Structure 1
């Protein structure tokens, strides 16, 4: 089974007041259950190496928050730029070494607000940017998981009317974020999701403080959003993910 750990960045609800966050981004890391334990072990080890002790203990943050470590805020106020860079690099290297597949879906929040206010088209029914971005994300995820399952079938199985599912996918969302349980239910009832066979029907909600993979996904979402904001300028961390064959799909949600 694949565990799909969600990360997000740019969540300002329906507000478009923050010009530094014009996009709402959701990403998902597809981590096979056979790799999840080793990834957590490697993440815990690098945290002990950088902080001297596990996260959550005295003198360490409860989790690695992308904006804090990148901008040198919170627990990272006294850290040098080089030290923060090394921590980020070590975190992303966990994914790059494994070529962990990443799917991203994003929406321009101003375009969403305009469509919602003007009542333009079918997308005007969405209540917030997260809802429409997650709908597209689940569509892309469903297609990718189908591809992964098809890759393991022989020619006889491919000729059958219904293909066997070798690996299901469970989406793990961060507790307290913008993802709502109804997003999955509504997708599976939609024309695009009603034929889905590999996606489990409910999200699993886990706090990011308890999930190394969710923290890694949030880092990926943060650097994806920064790249979207200014794609013409060098974006070292996103480019490392892209060139390292981690980034598989970037879905621009049109409204």
Structure 2
């Protein structure tokens, strides 16, 4: 669970709700027609803009905003130094026992290809292709959320226009002015909240998650290719440290 994301969303909505409660009551800001226009209109427009499978898939991608398990860069460095030491002492086939203890499918795939005797550059090509399509999937999820963030305020504006038309059309009946204005203003409010407190922050977090995951996977590729080439553990550590900021580097050979 990503605490920053959870705290950010909860605190943002809590402050908005508290401000509403201090100014009157929460019931004043609940309007079903406005919600139908904003939420229904946005989902409909998004499904027109993207294939249904992509729209449904974004909900699976969104879980990465809250739940993610990415290796730290230092863990990757330490793990490949250990792999290199074992490989040089006992041979590349000795890494077979390490594969069973790993829970990272990408690293397992790379190590298994190495154990199977595939050429290092062929291993790099296969793993880099996998990263490329991983980035594409993450990019698609963030793009859909960004598009929804565009549609939400637009649907809010449409709802505002609907409310204003209803109000102007019934000016002779004062009892209808209030409900019509509520639809007019609350749709804009709902659209702004959904776009700026949900969609845009989540899209930004997904982009950040993608960058972090890509960095770790690129480190894994470099480590696997180095192990496959039989390089010295110290050299491998230095190679992998090039991915890490100088202040975060911890050497096993000092």
Which interval holds the TM-score relative to the shorter structure? Answer: under 0.3
Normalised by the size of structure 2, how large is the TM-score? 0.24
Report the structure, 1 or 2, having the larger helix content: 2
Report the structure, 1 or 2, having the larger strand content: 1
Structure with greater Cα Rg: 2
Normalised by the size of structure 1, how large is the TM-score? 0.24
